[in-house]
Structure 1
Amino acid sequence: MKGLLLSKDELVKCENAIEESIVRAVETSKMNGAILALSGGIDSALVAVLASRVVDVFGLLLPDRATSDPGDMEDARDLAKSLGMDYELIEIGGIVEAVYSARPNLGPKECRLAYANVKPRVRMIMNYFASNLDGRIVLGTGNKTELLMGYFTKYGDGGVDLLPIAGLYKTRVRQMAKHVGVPEAIIKKPPSAGLWKGQTDEGEMGISYEALDKILYGVYDLGLSYGEIQKETGVDEATFTRIMERVRDNEHKRNMPPITDITAVIGP
Protein backbone atom coordinates (compact mmCIF):
# COMPACT_ATOMS: atom_id res chain seq x y z
CA MET A 1 0.00 0.00 0.00
CA LYS A 2 1.34 3.41 -0.98
CA GLY A 3 2.91 5.25 1.95
CA LEU A 4 3.27 2.25 4.27
CA LEU A 5 6.87 1.62 3.24
CA LEU A 6 9.29 4.31 4.42
CA SER A 7 11.78 6.14 2.22
CA LYS A 8 15.48 6.24 3.09
CA ASP A 9 15.07 9.78 4.43
CA GLU A 10 12.08 8.74 6.57
CA LEU A 11 14.01 5.78 7.98
CA VAL A 12 16.81 8.10 9.08
CA LYS A 13 14.32 10.52 10.66
CA CYS A 14 12.61 7.66 12.57
CA GLU A 15 15.97 6.28 13.65
CA ASN A 16 17.03 9.65 15.07
CA ALA A 17 13.66 10.26 16.76
CA ILE A 18 13.74 6.86 18.49
CA GLU A 19 17.28 7.32 19.75
CA GLU A 20 16.48 10.82 21.02
CA SER A 21 13.39 9.54 22.85
CA ILE A 22 15.48 6.91 24.65
CA VAL A 23 18.09 9.45 25.74
CA ARG A 24 15.36 11.84 26.89
CA ALA A 25 13.57 9.12 28.90
CA VAL A 26 16.77 8.11 30.71
CA GLU A 27 17.78 11.71 31.42
CA THR A 28 14.29 12.79 32.55
CA SER A 29 14.03 9.84 34.94
CA LYS A 30 17.56 10.56 36.24
CA MET A 31 18.45 6.91 35.78
CA ASN A 32 21.75 5.28 34.84
CA GLY A 33 20.61 3.59 31.66
CA ALA A 34 18.10 1.02 30.47
CA ILE A 35 17.00 -2.60 30.92
CA LEU A 36 15.92 -4.53 27.85
CA ALA A 37 14.57 -8.08 27.65
CA LEU A 38 16.17 -9.75 24.62
CA SER A 39 14.01 -12.47 23.10
CA GLY A 40 16.01 -13.23 19.97
CA GLY A 41 13.24 -11.66 17.88
CA ILE A 42 13.26 -8.68 15.55
CA ASP A 43 11.52 -6.15 17.82
CA SER A 44 13.86 -6.51 20.78
CA ALA A 45 16.84 -6.68 18.41
CA LEU A 46 15.88 -3.37 16.80
CA VAL A 47 15.43 -1.67 20.17
CA ALA A 48 18.77 -3.12 21.33
CA VAL A 49 20.66 -1.75 18.31
CA LEU A 50 19.18 1.73 18.63
CA ALA A 51 19.36 1.98 22.43
CA SER A 52 22.91 0.65 22.69
CA ARG A 53 24.13 3.52 20.53
CA VAL A 54 22.96 6.22 22.91
CA VAL A 55 22.62 4.85 26.48
CA ASP A 56 24.04 2.09 28.67
CA VAL A 57 21.77 -0.93 28.15
CA PHE A 58 21.71 -4.13 30.20
CA GLY A 59 20.14 -7.12 28.48
CA LEU A 60 18.04 -9.76 30.22
CA LEU A 61 17.55 -13.13 28.55
CA LEU A 62 14.54 -14.74 30.23
CA PRO A 63 13.78 -18.13 28.70
CA ASP A 64 11.28 -20.68 29.97
CA ARG A 65 12.77 -24.13 29.40
CA ALA A 66 9.31 -25.54 28.66
CA THR A 67 8.59 -23.32 25.65
CA SER A 68 11.60 -21.17 24.69
CA ASP A 69 13.56 -22.04 21.55
CA PRO A 70 17.27 -22.43 22.45
CA GLY A 71 18.09 -20.89 19.06
CA ASP A 72 16.34 -17.68 20.09
CA MET A 73 18.52 -17.38 23.17
CA GLU A 74 21.63 -18.00 21.07
CA ASP A 75 20.58 -15.21 18.71
CA ALA A 76 19.90 -12.91 21.67
CA ARG A 77 23.27 -13.70 23.24
CA ASP A 78 25.13 -13.21 19.96
CA LEU A 79 23.41 -9.88 19.37
CA ALA A 80 24.25 -8.62 22.87
CA LYS A 81 27.90 -9.58 22.39
CA SER A 82 28.07 -7.90 18.98
CA LEU A 83 26.67 -4.69 20.47
CA GLY A 84 28.96 -4.78 23.50
CA MET A 85 25.97 -5.08 25.84
CA ASP A 86 26.33 -6.63 29.28
CA TYR A 87 23.62 -9.24 29.78
CA GLU A 88 22.39 -11.98 32.08
CA LEU A 89 20.42 -15.15 31.36
CA ILE A 90 17.83 -16.07 33.98
CA GLU A 91 15.72 -19.21 33.48
CA ILE A 92 12.17 -18.33 34.59
CA GLY A 93 10.61 -21.79 34.28
CA GLY A 94 10.71 -22.41 38.03
CA ILE A 95 8.96 -19.12 38.79
CA VAL A 96 6.32 -19.81 36.15
CA GLU A 97 5.69 -23.29 37.54
CA ALA A 98 5.37 -21.86 41.06
CA VAL A 99 2.56 -19.60 39.83
CA TYR A 100 0.86 -22.50 38.05
CA SER A 101 1.03 -24.60 41.22
CA ALA A 102 -1.23 -22.11 43.01
CA ARG A 103 -4.16 -23.45 40.93
CA PRO A 104 -3.40 -27.18 40.58
CA ASN A 105 -7.02 -27.99 39.71
CA LEU A 106 -6.67 -26.15 36.39
CA GLY A 107 -4.21 -26.55 33.54
CA PRO A 108 -3.16 -25.03 30.22
CA LYS A 109 -5.71 -27.12 28.33
CA GLU A 110 -8.57 -25.48 30.22
CA CYS A 111 -7.04 -21.99 30.54
CA ARG A 112 -4.42 -21.67 27.80
CA LEU A 113 -4.37 -17.88 27.60
CA ALA A 114 -4.23 -17.39 31.37
CA TYR A 115 -1.31 -19.79 31.56
CA ALA A 116 0.47 -18.19 28.60
CA ASN A 117 0.17 -14.71 30.09
CA VAL A 118 2.06 -15.76 33.23
CA LYS A 119 5.36 -15.81 31.30
CA PRO A 120 5.35 -12.17 30.12
CA ARG A 121 4.19 -11.06 33.57
CA VAL A 122 7.07 -12.92 35.22
CA ARG A 123 9.43 -11.29 32.71
CA MET A 124 8.00 -7.89 33.64
CA ILE A 125 8.76 -8.60 37.32
CA MET A 126 12.32 -9.60 36.46
CA ASN A 127 12.76 -6.46 34.33
CA TYR A 128 11.68 -4.20 37.16
CA PHE A 129 13.67 -6.12 39.76
CA ALA A 130 16.77 -5.41 37.67
CA SER A 131 15.59 -1.86 37.04
CA ASN A 132 15.28 -1.14 40.76
CA LEU A 133 18.61 -2.78 41.56
CA ASP A 134 20.58 -0.89 38.91
CA GLY A 135 18.68 2.38 38.57
CA ARG A 136 17.56 1.89 34.96
CA ILE A 137 14.39 2.43 32.96
CA VAL A 138 12.68 -0.54 31.29
CA LEU A 139 12.47 -0.39 27.51
CA GLY A 140 9.55 -2.14 25.81
CA THR A 141 9.61 -3.78 22.41
CA GLY A 142 5.99 -3.49 21.27
CA ASN A 143 5.27 -2.14 17.79
CA LYS A 144 2.26 -0.21 16.46
CA THR A 145 0.60 -3.29 14.96
CA GLU A 146 0.73 -5.15 18.28
CA LEU A 147 -0.52 -2.16 20.24
CA LEU A 148 -3.52 -1.58 18.00
CA MET A 149 -4.42 -5.27 18.01
CA GLY A 150 -3.87 -5.57 21.75
CA TYR A 151 -1.39 -8.31 20.97
CA PHE A 152 0.53 -8.02 24.20
CA THR A 153 -0.01 -8.98 27.82
CA LYS A 154 -1.44 -6.30 30.06
CA TYR A 155 1.06 -5.67 32.89
CA GLY A 156 3.38 -8.12 31.14
CA ASP A 157 5.30 -7.02 28.06
CA GLY A 158 3.00 -3.97 28.17
CA GLY A 159 4.48 -2.99 31.56
CA VAL A 160 7.42 -0.77 30.61
CA ASP A 161 8.71 2.80 30.94
CA LEU A 162 9.13 3.57 27.23
CA LEU A 163 7.94 2.00 23.98
CA PRO A 164 10.59 3.21 21.52
CA ILE A 165 9.26 1.48 18.38
CA ALA A 166 5.52 1.65 19.13
CA GLY A 167 5.12 4.24 16.36
CA LEU A 168 6.23 1.70 13.74
CA TYR A 169 4.00 -0.88 12.11
CA LYS A 170 5.61 -4.35 11.87
CA THR A 171 6.27 -3.74 8.17
CA ARG A 172 8.27 -0.65 9.11
CA VAL A 173 10.03 -2.49 11.94
CA ARG A 174 11.35 -4.92 9.33
CA GLN A 175 12.49 -2.02 7.16
CA MET A 176 14.16 -0.28 10.07
CA ALA A 177 15.84 -3.51 11.20
CA LYS A 178 17.47 -3.91 7.79
CA HIS A 179 18.39 -0.23 7.77
CA VAL A 180 20.30 -0.40 11.08
CA GLY A 181 21.91 -3.79 10.50
CA VAL A 182 19.94 -6.28 12.59
CA PRO A 183 21.20 -9.76 11.58
CA GLU A 184 19.28 -11.21 8.64
CA ALA A 185 18.59 -14.47 10.51
CA ILE A 186 16.64 -12.53 13.14
CA ILE A 187 14.76 -10.45 10.56
CA LYS A 188 13.61 -13.55 8.65
CA LYS A 189 12.54 -15.47 11.76
CA PRO A 190 8.74 -16.08 12.08
CA PRO A 191 7.55 -13.67 14.82
CA SER A 192 6.63 -15.47 18.04
CA ALA A 193 5.94 -14.46 21.62
CA GLY A 194 7.08 -17.92 22.75
CA LEU A 195 3.91 -18.45 24.75
CA TRP A 196 3.77 -22.16 23.92
CA LYS A 197 5.67 -24.53 21.67
CA GLY A 198 5.07 -23.80 17.98
CA GLN A 199 3.23 -20.55 18.73
CA THR A 200 3.55 -17.75 16.16
CA ASP A 201 2.07 -14.26 16.13
CA GLU A 202 0.52 -14.62 12.69
CA GLY A 203 -0.89 -18.05 13.42
CA GLU A 204 -2.53 -16.83 16.61
CA MET A 205 -3.96 -13.67 15.01
CA GLY A 206 -5.07 -15.52 11.89
CA ILE A 207 -3.55 -13.06 9.42
CA SER A 208 -0.11 -12.12 8.13
CA TYR A 209 1.55 -8.94 9.39
CA GLU A 210 1.85 -7.75 5.79
CA ALA A 211 -1.91 -7.91 5.22
CA LEU A 212 -2.74 -6.67 8.72
CA ASP A 213 -0.52 -3.62 8.41
CA LYS A 214 -2.14 -2.60 5.14
CA ILE A 215 -5.56 -2.70 6.79
CA LEU A 216 -4.51 -0.85 9.96
CA TYR A 217 -2.49 1.75 8.05
CA GLY A 218 -5.37 2.30 5.64
CA VAL A 219 -7.89 2.83 8.43
CA TYR A 220 -5.88 4.68 11.09
CA ASP A 221 -3.37 6.65 9.01
CA LEU A 222 -5.22 7.24 5.73
CA GLY A 223 -8.81 7.21 7.03
CA LEU A 224 -10.01 4.80 4.32
CA SER A 225 -13.40 3.10 4.35
CA TYR A 226 -13.89 -0.66 4.16
CA GLY A 227 -14.68 -0.39 0.45
CA GLU A 228 -11.44 1.44 -0.20
CA ILE A 229 -9.49 -1.01 1.97
CA GLN A 230 -11.07 -3.94 0.15
CA LYS A 231 -10.08 -2.49 -3.22
CA GLU A 232 -6.49 -1.99 -2.01
CA THR A 233 -6.01 -5.30 -0.20
CA GLY A 234 -8.74 -7.73 -1.24
CA VAL A 235 -9.62 -8.41 2.40
CA ASP A 236 -13.07 -9.89 2.96
CA GLU A 237 -15.60 -8.09 5.12
CA ALA A 238 -15.61 -10.74 7.87
CA THR A 239 -11.84 -10.45 8.35
CA PHE A 240 -11.98 -6.66 8.28
CA THR A 241 -14.77 -6.63 10.87
CA ARG A 242 -12.89 -9.09 13.11
CA ILE A 243 -9.79 -6.88 13.07
CA MET A 244 -11.72 -3.68 13.79
CA GLU A 245 -13.55 -5.39 16.67
CA ARG A 246 -10.28 -6.60 18.14
CA VAL A 247 -8.80 -3.09 18.02
CA ARG A 248 -11.92 -1.73 19.76
CA ASP A 249 -12.14 -4.51 22.36
CA ASN A 250 -8.49 -4.02 23.38
CA GLU A 251 -8.72 -0.27 23.92
CA HIS A 252 -8.42 -0.86 27.68
CA LYS A 253 -4.90 -2.21 27.17
CA ARG A 254 -3.75 1.08 25.63
CA ASN A 255 -5.00 3.29 28.46
CA MET A 256 -4.37 3.73 32.16
CA PRO A 257 -7.10 2.19 34.35
CA PRO A 258 -10.16 4.44 34.73
CA ILE A 259 -10.51 6.32 38.02
CA THR A 260 -13.89 6.48 39.71
CA ASP A 261 -14.83 10.17 39.88
CA ILE A 262 -15.63 10.74 43.58
CA THR A 263 -15.53 14.53 43.18
CA ALA A 264 -18.63 14.35 40.98
CA VAL A 265 -20.48 12.73 43.91
CA ILE A 266 -19.22 14.65 46.95
CA GLY A 267 -17.94 17.86 45.33
CA PRO A 268 -14.52 19.48 45.70
Structure 2
Amino acid sequence: MTVSHTSEPASLPREDGLATTDEAQARLREQRPAFLEELVDDAGADRLVVGLDGSVETALAATFAVDAVGSERVTGLVMPAFLSHEAISRTAETVASALGIEHCRLQLQPVLAAFQEAVGDSSGPADDVVATNNALSRLRMTCAYYVANTTNALVVGTVDRTQYLLGGVTKHGETGADCLLFGDLYHSEVSELAGTVGIPDELTVETSGSPLYPGQLPIADFEIAPTTVDRVLRLRFDEGIDHETVVERTGVEPAILDQLEEYHAETEHKRRQPVTPSLRSHIN
Protein backbone atom coordinates (compact mmCIF):
# COMPACT_ATOMS: atom_id res chain seq x y z
CA MET A 1 0.00 0.00 0.00
CA THR A 2 1.24 3.47 -0.81
CA VAL A 3 0.30 6.13 1.72
CA SER A 4 1.20 9.65 0.76
CA HIS A 5 1.38 12.35 3.41
CA THR A 6 2.31 16.01 3.40
CA SER A 7 3.27 18.31 6.24
CA GLU A 8 0.50 20.75 5.33
CA PRO A 9 -2.34 19.58 7.63
CA ALA A 10 -0.17 19.75 10.76
CA SER A 11 0.42 23.48 10.24
CA LEU A 12 -3.14 24.41 9.29
CA PRO A 13 -5.09 26.86 11.47
CA ARG A 14 -7.57 24.78 13.45
CA GLU A 15 -10.82 25.21 15.32
CA ASP A 16 -11.20 22.83 18.27
CA GLY A 17 -8.37 20.80 16.79
CA LEU A 18 -9.89 20.40 13.32
CA ALA A 19 -8.95 22.07 10.03
CA THR A 20 -12.40 23.56 9.44
CA THR A 21 -11.54 27.26 9.59
CA ASP A 22 -11.99 29.34 6.46
CA GLU A 23 -8.24 29.78 6.10
CA ALA A 24 -7.56 26.07 6.55
CA GLN A 25 -10.22 25.13 4.04
CA ALA A 26 -8.90 27.60 1.47
CA ARG A 27 -5.41 26.19 1.81
CA LEU A 28 -6.62 22.60 1.54
CA ARG A 29 -8.65 23.45 -1.55
CA GLU A 30 -5.48 24.77 -3.19
CA GLN A 31 -3.13 22.10 -1.88
CA ARG A 32 -5.01 18.90 -2.75
CA PRO A 33 -5.14 19.39 -6.55
CA ALA A 34 -1.50 20.51 -6.50
CA PHE A 35 -0.62 17.31 -4.64
CA LEU A 36 -2.32 15.18 -7.32
CA GLU A 37 -0.74 17.12 -10.16
CA GLU A 38 2.72 16.61 -8.68
CA LEU A 39 1.97 12.92 -8.11
CA VAL A 40 1.05 12.44 -11.78
CA ASP A 41 4.09 14.37 -13.00
CA ASP A 42 6.51 12.47 -10.76
CA ALA A 43 5.12 9.12 -11.93
CA GLY A 44 5.04 10.07 -15.60
CA ALA A 45 1.37 9.08 -15.64
CA ASP A 46 -1.27 10.29 -18.07
CA ARG A 47 -4.47 10.03 -16.05
CA LEU A 48 -6.13 9.56 -12.67
CA VAL A 49 -8.69 6.86 -11.80
CA VAL A 50 -11.25 7.46 -9.04
CA GLY A 51 -13.79 4.95 -7.77
CA LEU A 52 -17.16 6.67 -7.34
CA ASP A 53 -19.56 5.32 -4.72
CA GLY A 54 -21.84 8.29 -4.10
CA SER A 55 -19.98 9.36 -0.95
CA VAL A 56 -18.66 12.79 -0.02
CA GLU A 57 -15.08 11.54 -0.22
CA THR A 58 -15.28 10.14 -3.75
CA ALA A 59 -17.15 13.15 -5.13
CA LEU A 60 -14.55 15.49 -3.65
CA ALA A 61 -11.65 13.33 -4.85
CA ALA A 62 -12.99 13.36 -8.40
CA THR A 63 -13.43 17.14 -8.21
CA PHE A 64 -9.84 17.64 -7.11
CA ALA A 65 -8.64 15.21 -9.77
CA VAL A 66 -10.32 17.35 -12.43
CA ASP A 67 -8.78 20.48 -10.92
CA ALA A 68 -5.38 18.79 -11.03
CA VAL A 69 -5.22 17.31 -14.53
CA GLY A 70 -8.41 18.30 -16.34
CA SER A 71 -11.67 16.43 -16.89
CA GLU A 72 -10.35 14.73 -20.05
CA ARG A 73 -7.68 12.95 -17.99
CA VAL A 74 -9.86 11.54 -15.23
CA THR A 75 -11.73 8.22 -15.27
CA GLY A 76 -14.54 7.49 -12.83
CA LEU A 77 -15.53 3.92 -12.03
CA VAL A 78 -18.90 3.01 -10.56
CA MET A 79 -18.81 -0.57 -9.30
CA PRO A 80 -22.07 -1.89 -7.85
CA ALA A 81 -22.62 -5.54 -7.01
CA PHE A 82 -26.28 -5.82 -5.96
CA LEU A 83 -29.65 -4.37 -6.94
CA SER A 84 -29.67 -2.41 -3.69
CA HIS A 85 -26.75 -0.38 -5.07
CA GLU A 86 -28.76 1.00 -8.00
CA ALA A 87 -29.80 4.34 -6.47
CA ILE A 88 -26.33 5.06 -5.13
CA SER A 89 -24.79 4.12 -8.47
CA ARG A 90 -27.02 6.65 -10.23
CA THR A 91 -25.87 9.29 -7.74
CA ALA A 92 -22.25 8.45 -8.50
CA GLU A 93 -22.89 8.66 -12.24
CA THR A 94 -24.52 12.06 -11.76
CA VAL A 95 -21.34 13.27 -10.07
CA ALA A 96 -19.26 12.01 -13.00
CA SER A 97 -21.54 13.66 -15.54
CA ALA A 98 -21.50 16.94 -13.63
CA LEU A 99 -17.70 16.93 -13.68
CA GLY A 100 -17.58 15.97 -17.35
CA ILE A 101 -15.29 13.00 -16.80
CA GLU A 102 -15.17 9.71 -18.65
CA HIS A 103 -16.92 7.10 -16.55
CA CYS A 104 -18.30 3.61 -16.75
CA ARG A 105 -20.32 1.24 -14.62
CA LEU A 106 -18.76 -2.14 -13.86
CA GLN A 107 -21.31 -4.68 -12.66
CA LEU A 108 -19.46 -6.84 -10.16
CA GLN A 109 -22.20 -9.38 -9.41
CA PRO A 110 -21.08 -11.81 -12.18
CA VAL A 111 -17.44 -11.27 -11.20
CA LEU A 112 -18.24 -12.03 -7.58
CA ALA A 113 -20.26 -15.09 -8.55
CA ALA A 114 -17.44 -16.43 -10.71
CA PHE A 115 -14.96 -15.75 -7.93
CA GLN A 116 -17.05 -17.58 -5.34
CA GLU A 117 -17.56 -20.50 -7.71
CA ALA A 118 -13.83 -20.70 -8.38
CA VAL A 119 -13.00 -20.64 -4.69
CA GLY A 120 -15.75 -23.12 -3.93
CA ASP A 121 -15.74 -24.64 -0.48
CA SER A 122 -12.03 -24.16 0.05
CA SER A 123 -12.40 -21.24 2.44
CA GLY A 124 -15.86 -21.47 3.97
CA PRO A 125 -19.46 -20.72 2.98
CA ALA A 126 -20.13 -18.43 0.02
CA ASP A 127 -22.70 -16.49 2.07
CA ASP A 128 -20.15 -15.28 4.64
CA VAL A 129 -21.02 -11.55 4.75
CA VAL A 130 -17.66 -10.31 5.99
CA ALA A 131 -15.71 -12.39 3.48
CA THR A 132 -18.01 -11.30 0.64
CA ASN A 133 -17.73 -7.59 1.49
CA ASN A 134 -13.97 -7.82 1.80
CA ALA A 135 -13.76 -9.65 -1.51
CA LEU A 136 -15.85 -6.94 -3.18
CA SER A 137 -13.60 -4.21 -1.84
CA ARG A 138 -10.54 -5.98 -3.22
CA LEU A 139 -12.27 -6.70 -6.53
CA ARG A 140 -13.08 -3.00 -6.88
CA MET A 141 -9.46 -2.05 -6.34
CA THR A 142 -8.37 -4.78 -8.78
CA CYS A 143 -10.69 -3.29 -11.41
CA ALA A 144 -9.38 0.20 -10.72
CA TYR A 145 -5.81 -0.96 -11.18
CA TYR A 146 -6.63 -2.86 -14.36
CA VAL A 147 -8.01 0.35 -15.84
CA ALA A 148 -5.05 2.30 -14.48
CA ASN A 149 -2.51 -0.16 -15.90
CA THR A 150 -4.09 -0.08 -19.35
CA THR A 151 -4.28 3.72 -19.49
CA ASN A 152 -1.04 4.71 -17.68
CA ALA A 153 -3.03 6.14 -14.80
CA LEU A 154 -2.74 6.38 -11.02
CA VAL A 155 -5.45 5.25 -8.61
CA VAL A 156 -6.69 7.84 -6.13
CA GLY A 157 -7.66 6.43 -2.73
CA THR A 158 -10.45 8.23 -0.88
CA VAL A 159 -10.24 6.80 2.66
CA ASP A 160 -10.25 9.54 5.32
CA ARG A 161 -8.36 9.46 8.59
CA THR A 162 -11.43 8.63 10.68
CA GLN A 163 -11.99 5.47 8.65
CA TYR A 164 -8.28 4.69 8.71
CA LEU A 165 -7.74 5.01 12.47
CA LEU A 166 -10.87 3.05 13.39
CA GLY A 167 -10.39 0.30 10.82
CA GLY A 168 -13.41 1.14 8.67
CA VAL A 169 -11.57 -0.22 5.64
CA THR A 170 -10.71 -3.59 4.11
CA LYS A 171 -7.09 -4.64 4.31
CA HIS A 172 -5.63 -4.55 0.78
CA GLY A 173 -8.92 -3.06 -0.38
CA GLU A 174 -9.73 0.67 -0.23
CA THR A 175 -6.26 1.51 1.08
CA GLY A 176 -4.49 -0.26 -1.79
CA ALA A 177 -4.14 2.89 -3.89
CA ASP A 178 -1.35 5.09 -5.23
CA CYS A 179 -2.26 7.79 -2.72
CA LEU A 180 -4.73 8.39 0.08
CA LEU A 181 -5.89 11.88 -0.80
CA PHE A 182 -7.70 12.34 2.52
CA GLY A 183 -5.63 9.99 4.63
CA ASP A 184 -4.53 12.89 6.83
CA LEU A 185 -7.95 14.57 7.07
CA TYR A 186 -10.78 13.53 9.36
CA HIS A 187 -14.26 12.87 8.01
CA SER A 188 -15.68 16.12 9.37
CA GLU A 189 -12.83 18.04 7.73
CA VAL A 190 -13.52 16.33 4.40
CA SER A 191 -17.25 17.06 4.68
CA GLU A 192 -16.52 20.71 5.41
CA LEU A 193 -14.16 20.81 2.43
CA ALA A 194 -16.86 19.41 0.16
CA GLY A 195 -19.13 22.26 1.23
CA THR A 196 -16.35 24.78 0.66
CA VAL A 197 -15.76 23.45 -2.85
CA GLY A 198 -19.49 23.65 -3.52
CA ILE A 199 -20.47 20.02 -3.98
CA PRO A 200 -24.27 19.91 -3.59
CA ASP A 201 -25.57 17.76 -0.75
CA GLU A 202 -27.97 16.01 -3.12
CA LEU A 203 -25.00 14.63 -5.07
CA THR A 204 -23.49 12.81 -2.11
CA VAL A 205 -24.39 10.30 0.54
CA GLU A 206 -23.25 11.13 4.08
CA THR A 207 -21.58 7.99 5.32
CA SER A 208 -18.75 6.73 7.49
CA GLY A 209 -18.02 3.90 5.08
CA SER A 210 -18.62 2.98 1.46
CA PRO A 211 -22.38 2.96 0.80
CA LEU A 212 -21.95 0.23 -1.82
CA TYR A 213 -21.72 -2.34 0.97
CA PRO A 214 -22.14 -2.48 4.78
CA GLY A 215 -18.96 -0.69 5.77
CA GLN A 216 -20.25 1.57 8.52
CA LEU A 217 -17.88 2.52 11.29
CA PRO A 218 -18.81 1.54 14.85
CA ILE A 219 -19.07 5.22 15.80
CA ALA A 220 -22.50 5.27 14.14
CA ASP A 221 -23.84 3.81 17.39
CA PHE A 222 -22.27 6.52 19.58
CA GLU A 223 -24.52 9.28 20.85
CA ILE A 224 -21.93 11.99 20.24
CA ALA A 225 -21.30 14.27 17.29
CA PRO A 226 -18.96 13.01 14.55
CA THR A 227 -16.87 16.16 14.97
CA THR A 228 -16.33 15.26 18.62
CA VAL A 229 -15.18 11.79 17.62
CA ASP A 230 -12.70 13.36 15.20
CA ARG A 231 -11.42 15.75 17.87
CA VAL A 232 -10.91 12.83 20.24
CA LEU A 233 -9.07 10.79 17.63
CA ARG A 234 -6.79 13.67 16.73
CA LEU A 235 -5.89 14.41 20.34
CA ARG A 236 -5.37 10.81 21.32
CA PHE A 237 -3.62 9.36 18.28
CA ASP A 238 -2.11 12.28 16.35
CA GLU A 239 -1.04 14.44 19.28
CA GLY A 240 -0.51 11.60 21.73
CA ILE A 241 -2.46 13.25 24.55
CA ASP A 242 -3.08 10.96 27.51
CA HIS A 243 -6.48 9.36 28.13
CA GLU A 244 -7.46 11.48 31.13
CA THR A 245 -6.58 14.78 29.48
CA VAL A 246 -8.51 13.90 26.31
CA VAL A 247 -11.61 13.18 28.41
CA GLU A 248 -11.19 16.48 30.22
CA ARG A 249 -10.64 18.55 27.07
CA THR A 250 -13.44 17.00 24.98
CA GLY A 251 -16.04 16.12 27.60
CA VAL A 252 -16.56 12.60 26.26
CA GLU A 253 -17.40 9.76 28.58
CA PRO A 254 -14.31 7.74 29.55
CA ALA A 255 -16.10 4.58 28.38
CA ILE A 256 -16.47 6.00 24.87
CA LEU A 257 -12.78 6.82 24.67
CA ASP A 258 -12.05 3.32 25.95
CA GLN A 259 -14.14 1.93 23.09
CA LEU A 260 -12.41 4.09 20.48
CA GLU A 261 -9.04 2.98 21.76
CA GLU A 262 -10.22 -0.63 21.58
CA TYR A 263 -11.39 -0.21 17.96
CA HIS A 264 -8.04 1.33 17.09
CA ALA A 265 -6.09 -1.48 18.74
CA GLU A 266 -8.22 -4.27 17.26
CA THR A 267 -7.75 -2.94 13.71
CA GLU A 268 -4.03 -2.20 13.94
CA HIS A 269 -3.35 -5.06 11.53
CA LYS A 270 -5.13 -3.08 8.80
CA ARG A 271 -2.64 -0.24 9.15
CA ARG A 272 0.47 -2.40 9.29
CA GLN A 273 2.78 -2.97 6.38
CA PRO A 274 3.44 -6.66 5.58
CA VAL A 275 6.16 -7.75 7.96
CA THR A 276 9.30 -9.78 7.36
CA PRO A 277 11.15 -11.88 9.95
CA SER A 278 13.82 -9.18 10.31
CA LEU A 279 11.65 -6.07 10.00
CA ARG A 280 8.49 -5.58 12.04
CA SER A 281 7.69 -1.95 11.27
CA HIS A 282 4.25 -0.55 10.48
CA ILE A 283 2.59 2.74 9.66
CA ASN A 284 0.46 4.60 12.21
Q: Distance in 2 between matches of 1:158 and 1:217?
A: 20
1:63 match? 80
Q: Which runs of 5+ in 2 are unaligned?
A: 1-14, 280-284
1:51 match? 65
% identity of equivalent residues: 23
Equivalent position SS for 2:76: strand
> Is 1:2 the equivalent of 2:2?
no
Q: Is the 8 A contact 2:88 2:212 kept in 1?
A: no
Q: Alignment partner for residue 97 of structure 1, among 107, 113, 132?
A: 113
Matching residue's letter, 2:115: V
Matching residue's letter, 1:230: V
Quick one: structure 1 residues 204 and 194, their matched pair in 2 at CA, closer, same or farther if it must change by over 3 Å? farther
1:189 offset after TM fit, Å? 3.1
Q: Distance in 2 between matches of 1:209 and 1:99?
A: 37
1:191 offset after TM fit, Å? 4.0
Q: Distance in 2 between matches of 1:225 and 1:247?
A: 15
2:269 match? 252
Aligned pairs, how many? 257
Q: Is the 8 A contact 1:177 1:187 kept in 2?
A: no
1:150 match? 167
Q: Alignment partner for residue 151 of structure 2, among 134, 142, 148?
A: 134
Alignment of structure 1 residues 175-194 onto 2, 5 Å: 175-187=192-204, 189-194=206-211
1:33 match? 47
1:214-239: per-residue Cα shift (whole Å, max 9, x none)? 21022134443322322344433333
Query: Which piece of structure 1 moves more, 95-104 or 4-13?
Result: 95-104
Q: Is the 8 A contact 1:146 1:152 kept in 2?
A: yes
Q: Is the 8 A contact 2:46 2:152 kept in 1?
A: yes
Q: Is the 8 A contact 1:75 1:186 kept in 2?
A: yes
Matching residue's letter, 1:80: A
Query: Which piece of structure 1 moves more, 219-228 or 239-248?
Result: 219-228
**TM-score under structure 2 length normalisation:** 0.82
Equivalent position SS for 2:171: coil
Query: Which piece of structure 1 moves more, 170-179 or 17-26?
Result: 17-26
Q: Alignment partner for residue 75 of structure 1, among 91, 113, 119?
A: 91
Alignment of structure 1 residues 202-241 onto 2, 5 Å: 202=217, 206-207=221-222, 209-241=226-258
Equivalent position SS for 1:201: coil
Q: Is the 8 A contact 1:33 1:57 kept in 2?
A: yes
RMSD over aligned Cα atoms: 2.2
Equivalent position SS for 1:26: helix
Quick one: structure 1 residues 188 and 161, their matched pair in 2 at CA, closer, same or farther if it must change by over 3 Å? closer
Equivalent position SS for 1:34: strand
Q: Which runs of 5+ in 1 are unaligned?
A: 263-268
Q: Distance in 2 between matches of 1:203 and 1:152?
A: 12
Q: Is the 8 A contact 2:163 2:209 kept in 1?
A: no
